[in-house]
Amino acid sequence: MRLKDGREVVARRYEDSDAEKIVSIIHRNFREVNVKDYGVEAMETLITHHDVEWFKGVASYASVYTFCIEDEVVAVGSISSFWGSLTESILLTIFVIPELHGQGVGRFIIETLEQDELFLRAERIEIPASITAVEFYRKQGYDFKNGIKELDDEGHFRLEKFRRVC
């Protein structure tokens, strides 16, 4: 995909060497974006749990995609089986550097994840959405799980999308 300024964003599979940059992007989003909805204390607590080893753990069971402009990692997105299910998947760790928010990178991440085998085999896809991102995901076709428009114990809205698998 191309940004308005002409730069190209390219999706590729995650490599372990991406982990530090990805964690940095996640931390920036917590501190610069999500902090508005959750507060400083909550975000700093999350940061202590979202380190490189945590992310490598996610990468050990999920399909992770890294999004780059030239050689610079600018975003990440992943999809995993939902608790080992063959018919349900979950979108995870979707983050874009704050200066690229609103430029179509998030939509490109969703489009990429929705071409992954774990999405294509699933009848239902769930996403834990932050307060900050819930409307973005709703625009991508995800709706409140079981119609419940309340935050769960982790401070997320649970959204889902159903698809017909042939």
Over the stretch 51-105, which tens digit does the pLDDT of each residue have? 999 999 999 999 999 999 999 999 999 999 999 999 999 999 999 999 999 999 9
pTM above 0.85, yes or no: yes
CA distance 82 to 123: 11
User: 4 in a domain, yes or no?
Assistant: no
Per-residue pLDDT tens digits for 13-52:
999 999 999 999 999 999 999 999 999 999 999 999 999 9
Please count the structural domains in the chain.
Answer: 1
Q: Is the pLDDT of residue 165 over 80?
A: no
Residues 6+ apart with CB under 8 A from 159: 126, 127, 128, 129, 134, 137, 138, 142, 143, 144, 145
Token digits of residue 122 = 């699933």
Tokens of 31: 């501190």
Q: Residue 166 above 70 pLDDT?
A: no
* CATH code of the domain covering residue 52: 3.40.630.30
126: containing domain: 9-162
- Mean pLDDT, residues 130-150: 97
88-96 and 124-129: which strand pairing?
parallel
Is 2 part of a structural domain of the chain?
no
Residue 1 lies in a domain: no
